[in-house]
Amino acid sequence: MSSSTTLVVHDATEVFTSDDDVIENGAVVVEDGKIVAVGRSDEVTREYPAANADRVVDASGKAVLPGFADSHTHALFAGDRSDEFAAKLRGKAYQDILAEGGGILRTVRAVREASDEELLAAMLDRLDAMCAHGTTTVEVKSGYGLDTETELRMLDVLARADDAHPVDVVPTFMGAHAIPEGGDAESYTEQVVDEQLPAVAEQGVAEFCDVFCEEGVFSVEQSRRVLEAGMDHGLTPKVHAEEFVHLGGAQLAADVGATSADHLLHADESDARAVAAAGVVPVFLPGTAFGLGAEYADHEPFVEAGATVAVASDFNPNCYAPSMAFATTLACVGMGMPPAAAVTAATRGGALAMDREDRGTLAPGQRGDLLVVDAPSHVHVPYRFGQNVVETVVKDGRVVAE
């Protein structure tokens, strides 16, 4: 027997590798964190006998799929905004709450007051919840600091959380998430560019730079300045685009070669063509539309234009939804995605929206990030909502939740 660590998952009713590629009665083998075999159970276990493995999972009656890659969250936060949920149900608009100093600005106050240890503990609890629901890689944005000190603190907490937790945390700097109280968009944009970004680059944690390109927040020009300055500092752009109005964020994402353009509730067909042609991944966040009672985004023009689409949770105080499986339910029911497309968007699509080519499908060479669900096919993931169908979570070949 070799000295490598081997995990064998065998006799799955279905191995959902990606898209419509499904192997019945399948098996997956992971060695030293990487997938080495995917195929029919009898053939795979002949080459990799279960008896020789360090860990064996009998997946009879169950489906195996890639770990969820959640490419858009603001999951590091403090405070409680449940009263805003009630206010929104009474008809109050999200933007009005923000304009009155609530919403993001309220979370900013709570995060500034929280200690690093409190923030870390909250983040680790949420990573546990996301992991239990099958997320193996998650992007988390800063953006509840809106000053250099607190933005750096948030990013530092994300680095510590990544070290401490098996789920991979992909850190995004989002100093341009809102205009701080008492500030104005123009001078705050300057502050992000001249003060925050150099400090963030020197700290060396953030990989992406995101901006809320939205009416009443950052204009297309201000957003462009932030993203271009971020690129000068080695940060890859992402854009919150066309969430409440059609402003031009999707075209901007295409212009600067962003990795993703996210939300897109008000995007049009020319946005879809520009985004697809530039290789930008459109990220749909149906939980946000669901929580706000808004209309869902139209993903079809993006698919027709040839884009690889992603679905993410947008876990944040305005969308308290850590479950990617639930995001697939909403992608199916709210957006009309077929189940296989929704699961692919939540796995491969999400991985590409985080520049993580090494995960999101089940194929030799990919990371050993996979889920065993307590149901016989991937269709059951969006179909069974309001419960956790994820039974076993494997990250880098190790069982991390069961």
* 139 known ligand binder: no
Q: Strand 236-241: give its sheet, edge to edge.
A: 68-70, 135-141, 168-176, 208-212, 236-241, 260-263, 281-284, 310-311
* 314 known ligand binder: yes
Give 32 or 207: the residue with its C-beta nearer to ligand NIG.
207
* 316 known ligand binder: yes
* 266 known ligand binder: no
Whole-number Å distance between alpha carbons of 295 and 290: 8
Residue span 271-290 as binding mask against ligand NIG, x where in contact by CB under 6 A, dash where not:
-----------------x--
Give 319 or 400: the residue with its C-beta nearer to ligand NIG.
319
Give 36 or 345: the residue with its C-beta nearer to ligand NIG.
345
* 246 known ligand binder: no
Give 316 or 392: the residue with its C-beta nearer to ligand NIG.
316
* Count of residues touching ligand NIG (by CB under 6 A): 13
* 243 known ligand binder: yes
**Min dist. Cβ of residue 84 to ligand NIG (A):** 9
Show contacts with ligand NIG in window 304-343 (CB under 6 A). 314, 316-319
* 177 known ligand binder: yes
Residue span 204-243 as binding mask against ligand NIG, x where in contact by CB under 6 A, dash where not:
--------x---------------------------x--x
Give 104 or 274: the residue with its C-beta nearer to ligand NIG.
104
**Min dist. Cβ of residue 14 to ligand NIG (A):** 33
The residue whose Cβ lies closest to ligand NIG is 318
**Closest among 176, 140, 146 to 159, alpha carbons compared:** 140
Please give the structure tokens belonging to residue 367. Answer: 């990371």
| Residue 151 found at the interface with ligand NIG (CB under 6 A) | no
Show contacts with ligand NIG in window 86-115 (CB under 6 A). 103-104, 107
* 74 known ligand binder: yes
Give 271 or 369: the residue with its C-beta nearer to ligand NIG.
271
**Min dist. Cβ of residue 32 to ligand NIG (A):** 37
* 320 known ligand binder: no
Binding residue positions for N-formimidoyl-L-glutamate: 144, 316
Binding residue positions: 72, 74, 81, 144, 177, 240, 243, 314, 316
Residues lying near ligand NIG in the complex (CB under 6 A) are found at: 74, 103-104, 107, 212, 240, 243, 288, 314, 316-319
Binding residue positions for 4-imidazolone-5-propanoate: 81, 144, 177, 243
Binding residue positions for Fe(3+): 72, 74, 240, 314
